[in-house]
Amino acid sequence: MDAKAKYAEKPWLKFYPEGVPANVEIPERSLPEVFDEVASKHADKTALIFYGNKISFKKLKEEIDRFATALYDLGVRKGDKIALYLLNSPQYVIAYYGGLKVGATLTPISPVYTSIEVKHQLEDSEAESIICQDFLFDNVERSGVGLKHVILTGIEEYLPLSKRLAGKSVLGRYAKMEVPSQRDIESRGFHQFQKLIKKYPPNPPKIEINAREDIAALPYTGGTTGLPKGAILTHHNLLACQMQVRAFWPLFEEGKEVIPALLPFYHIYGQVVVLLNGLMMGATLLLFTTPDLDEVLSAMERYRATVFYSVPTAYQFLKDYDKTDRFNWKGLKIITSGADTLHESTVNDWERRTASKIIEGYGLTECSAVSHINPLGRSKAGSFGLPLPNVGVAVVDHETGEHLPPGEVGELLIEGPNVMKGYWKRPDDTKETLIELDGKVWLKTGDLVKMDEDGYFFFYDRKKDMIKYKGYSVFAREIEEVLHQHPQVKAAGVLGVPDPDVGQTIKAIVVLQAEARGKVSEEEIIKYCTENLAHYKVPKIVEFRGELPKTDVGKVSHRELREELEE
């Protein structure tokens, strides 16, 4: 059997949990339609718990409908772009579903963005309206972008009285930021979220939405190459991803799950897996603005959390946190990790500490958050799992495009209903990233992976992070994995430094544990790598730092490291 036929055979299906289909039917429905049905079915059930304030599905739907009515009265119409510049909060949920209900396209902006980054996304997305946390408005102001509608909201609006009196305590590092004065808000014609909710009745317009064609969201990628790009995700894309995940993990019970919502909603992982998937299966979300681990653990224990979604940096911290044992992790149905590579040392330490397992998955903004997950009870160490139902995959030579047999490392291609329509206003990038093969549109992920004979996939590196040393292909991630196993290394980033004699020299940038700083030498790190890596993979340069640049979900930012090198 040739390599191409091997992928068409889908060997991973043999390892699907019992009863999981190879394909699942995706209904031709909009996201608000599905939400309304769930909200009516579970009207009296708690949808959100915000620092003790419980909001039922009935109340949530009413406020969404009121907000949608307000948006429509302000002149927002189908296809208009609305920017969401908010922390996780009930306002985020109301604004998200309210915007979708009037047929608008939502573009979530990271709260950690600077005014320059805000300016790029507002201008590129063509957003005319923004729903903004009041203390973040200064960045919007300094961006200089003109907007038709500015809707401001304060985090305290949905806090219970006990928390409202000390509202800044839930804001972490945002607590010291200034908010516009009431006089400024009124004189400039800005709107206030709560006043709109109270003013308008819950009578939203009836908008016809074509689920396959109408754009629900324009999340922006992290900008691994150049400026961030908006991924065009339709209602069908986002609903498909939810249906695929729930089909693969049938353990979820509608109306019975309790999910901590500490992943930021502006990020595709939190947006799809928690905000959309959680509420649209009738789950209760425990909302946190800027997660404090003591608050999270207390809420998980108090409200009996059933599922936990997070990222590797959180598990790295929690495995050593003195209060982690306050919660019985074995009692959860599932614990998952995504958005970055989960180091083997973290997995081992976590299992020893909690007697529970972390299930690793994989996805991209461009495929609506998820394409692969490990099956329950059949996860493989180091693997990010099997393709979801309806997903086709292939591994190809990243230079020739030829299909590679199992066991060989190449670029991952993905096709399925969760794959984006393209990049917003980027026809050249779209043409380069979405290719047609055998009558199907495939996403070139830019990730180097391999598939084993059973159909499990293993991540090696981003294509752009691969290092060429004396003709050898060296994966930065493999070296970082070894460095993380050193007991005195807290974090590490590896990249190639241009060298005319060897192509690229391998450089490791290392953050040591606090007690090891000034005691562990560059030579000791190189010696450790020599003992654990092939000779051509050993870093020739080691630099110690106090911290590494991170993305907004805690990944080491190789892009920023490369930019530093170029400068």
Whole-number pLDDT of residue 223: 46
Mean pLDDT value of segment 428-453: 94
Q: Tell me: pLDDT of 270 over 50.
A: yes
Residue 450 bridge partners (DSSP): 458
**Residue 155 dihedral angles phi and psi, to the nearest 5°:** -60, -25
Gap between the Cα atoms of 207 and 313, Å rounded: 41
pLDDT at 93: 98
Poorest-pLDDT segment among 111-115, 141-145, 333-337: 111-115
Question: What's the pLDDT tens digit per position in 52-67?
Answer: 999 999 999 999 999 9
Confidence (pLDDT) at 169: 67
User: Considering the chain, what is the average pLDDT of its residues?
Assistant: 92
Range name among 26-40, 221-235, 419-433 with the lowest pLDDT average: 221-235
105 has a pLDDT exceeding 80: yes
Confidence category of residue 166, pLDDT binned at 50, 70, 90: low
Mean pLDDT of 72-100: 98
On whether the CB atoms of residues 370 and 337 are closer than 8 A, the answer is no
Q: Residue 334: count other Cβ atoms within 10 Å of its Cβ.
A: 18
Q: Supply the Cα-derived Rg of the chain in whole angstroms.
A: 24
Confidence of residue 164 (pLDDT cuts 50, 70, 90): low
Residue 158 has what pLDDT? 94
216-265 pLDDT per residue, tens: 999 998 644 467 899 999 999 999 999 999 999 988 999 999 999 999 99
The crossing angle, in degrees rounded to 10, of helices 344-354 and 476-484 is: 40
pLDDT at 226: 61
Cβ contact 204:35 at 8 Å: no
The confidence score (pLDDT) of residue 278 equals: 96
For residue 140, the model assigns a pLDDT of 95
What's the confidence (pLDDT) of residue 165?
A: 60
**Domain 466-566 falls under CATH 3.30.300.30:** yes
CA atoms within 13 A on the CB side of 439: 0
The model's pLDDT over 527-542, given as tens digits with 9 standing for 90+, comes to 999 998 888 889 999 9
Lowest mean pLDDT among 119-128, 154-163, 248-257, 262-271: 154-163
pLDDT at 410 over 50: yes
Percent of the chain with pLDDT strictly greater than 70: 97
Q: What's the mean pLDDT in 134-160?
A: 94
Give pairs for 207-212: CB < 8 Å, separation 24+: 207/78, 207/101, 207/102, 207/103, 209/30, 209/32, 209/33, 209/78, 209/103, 209/235, 211/28, 211/29, 211/30, 211/235, 211/236, 211/239, 212/28, 212/236
Q: Are 466 and 409 in contact (CB under 8 A)?
A: no
**For 353-373, how does the pLDDT look when each residue is reduced to its tens digit (9 = 90+)?**
999 999 999 999 999 999 999
For 226-229, the CB contacts below 8 A with 24+ separation are 227/120, 227/124, 228/117, 228/120, 228/121, 229/423, 229/424, 229/426, 229/429
Q: The tokens of 419 are what? A: 């794959």
Predicted pLDDT of residue 430:
94
pLDDT computed for residue 389 by the predictor:
98
Give the closest residue to 290 by CA, choosing from 133, 60, 180, 84: 133
Helix (H, G, I), strand (E, B) or coil at 547: coil
Q: Does 68 have pLDDT greater than 60?
A: yes
Buried b (16+ CB within 10 A) or exposed e, 477-489: bebbbbbbebebb
| pLDDT confidence of residue 484 | 87
Q: What are the structural domain ranges in the chain?
A: 56-208, 466-566
Distance CA 418, CA 212 (A): 11
CATH classification number, 56-208, choose in 3.30.930.10, 3.40.50.2300, 3.40.50.300, 3.40.50.980 = 3.40.50.980
- 339, pLDDT greater than 90: no
Q: Which residues contact 237 (CB under 8 A, 6 or more apart)?
A: 216, 368, 417, 418, 419, 420, 421
Q: Looking up tokens 């030829």, which residue turns up?
A: 402
